[in-house]
Amino acid sequence: MTADRRDPVVRTPYGDVRGTYEYGDGDGHGDRIAVFRGIPYAAPPFGPRRFRPPSPPEPWSGVRDAVAFGPTPPKPPYSEAFARYLSDPVVPGDDCLNLNVWTPEPGHGARLPVMVWIHGGALTRGSSAVPVYDGAAFARDGVVLVSLNYRLGVEGYGLFPDAPPNLGLRDQLAALEWVRESIAGFGGDPDRVTLAGQSAGAISVGALLAMPRARGLFRRAVLQSGPPEALDRDKVRRMVRRMANRLKVPATAEAFAAVDRSALAEAQAEVGRLSSPVLGGPAFGIVVDGDLLPTDPLEALTEHGAAPGIDLLMGWTRDEHRLWLVPGGLQERVDRLGTVALAGARARCHCGPEIPRAYRELHPDKGVADLVGRLVTDHLLRVPLHRVADARVDQARSYLYEFAWSSGLPALGSCHALELGFVFDTGDTSASAKLAGEHPPRDLATALHSAWVGFVAEGTPGWPVWDHTHPVRVFDSPDDEPLAFGPYDPELALWAADARRPRRVQGGGTFVTSGGGPLPALRRFRRSP
């Protein structure tokens, strides 16, 4: 990106900010966009504000420079195995509740569509400073792009007796309220906001869809590779207690606030070392709190008619699980475990033995690791997203897609997060190449990015709306059929039948199989991001 010496200045409710003009082609030509980085939307969440809900930033006088990414929230680094594939820059400092704006036309009167981006990272890692999330292509195509930071891990999602829950989610709500108040000054239309997220960001979007306090703050939503869900409160409490035991402090917010941030992040990384989306284990997550989030998001959207009239774009990658199994060689280890791994997947998915057997029959060409990965991905992701689309046919439009292009790197396939460089049209960055390899197909990036732009700007990505035929747009090579009808219907039928099947337990009575812990045989092999 090439900067222009003339600087754009925009007034916000807390003071004026000065950004920079940049050019997407890097040589001073082409479409000029204005970029503002590191704008605070809430006060630093430290000192007396630690483990407290976000509060407004202190107003400033004069003009504040907004030319560099602001501080990132405290977080542990990725393990060496995952750092090969995922970039996660760290910017030191306290003022970590900040956001960035890319706009083609700063100033009141433009009324352009807006996309607010919530990054992924298992609610423990990531930030808006990841180079893959550069918003220049969206601004180039007439969309104001806002990306934001929010508190992560125990700082954002710990459950304590002396602090409110879901602090990271409260941060996201505060950022949306800032957008509502401020985005017109950047050329955006506060009534044309699309909320979008990937992985944990999509889970956050699902919670915001179900949240009464978020109504009216966005008009459309995108959920990529993440379902609406809430974690069991006891599971999150166990994570906090394990950290407390390791730190030798009480499991209270007051005690955790007295711990050095680096020590807290180190303890969190160690306690979460055995976590994996495929294999389960301890984790932080959004919880139903009876206040901010009164109902499980999936239940709210499928049974209670939450977020009426909000159209949805929902997608996944064909081989989501490969990102969690390939680093560190876990894919090969799961293959060697055979039926033991399938039994563990059954426990992880709370299903009967019929499901793994049926998956073997449906996919006889797949190895055990891919069967386990697909089974768990369907249970955790594809089935909930299909349920949401089916439940909302009469109240809003839904569009579903699959990203199926395979990475140029060995064994990754079309893994989790691979599509992001295509969504943001940042495939030429080194951060994107860590997952995709060199020279990913430009035509595919144009197609997927244009679909998102079309949905944000006009409410349609360019293929049929979801109905009883279950249309799914497939993004792969140009030679493939782009639209499939019901490609996962056989698997969906299995899960629907399993949900209706009671199972006997010793001592009488019926229940739906519980579980979700890690496979004992894999515990010594597991590595978290």
Give the catalytic positions in this structure: 199, 320, 416
Six-digit token pair at 528?
């978290």
* C-alpha to C-alpha distances, 100 to 34, 104, 200, 522, nearest whole angstrom: 11, 14, 19, 41
User: What count of Cα atoms within 13 Å lies in the side-chain half-sphere of residue 63?
Assistant: 12
Using the structure block, give the residue that is written with the tokens 């995709």.
436
Instruction: Check if the beta carbon of residue 116 is closer than 8 Å to that of residue 197.
Output: no
- The whole-angstrom separation of Cα 12 and Cα 182 is 6
> How many other CB atoms are found less than 10 A from the CB of residue 287?
23
- The whole-angstrom separation of Cα 173 and Cα 76 is 24
> Any idea what DSSP says for residue 184?
G
* Residue of 311, 285, 306, 309 whose CA lies nearest to 295: 306
- The whole-angstrom separation of Cα 127 and Cα 69 is 10
3-state secondary structure 281-335: CCCCCCCCCCCCCCCCHHHHHHHCCCCCCCEEEEEEECCCCHHHHCHHHHHHHHH
Query: 189: exposed, middle or buried (C-beta count within 10 Å: 0-12, 13-18, 19+)?
Result: middle
**In Å, how far from its chain's centre is CA 431?**
17
Phi, psi of 113 (to 5 degrees): -65, 150
> How many other CB atoms are found less than 10 A from the CB of residue 246?
14
- The whole-angstrom separation of Cα 293 and Cα 301 is 13
Is the torsion defined by CA of 428, 429, 431, 434 positive or negative? positive
Rg, the chain, Cα only: 22
Phi, psi of 382 (to 5 degrees): -70, -40
Using the structure block, give the residue that is written with the tokens 């939503």.
221
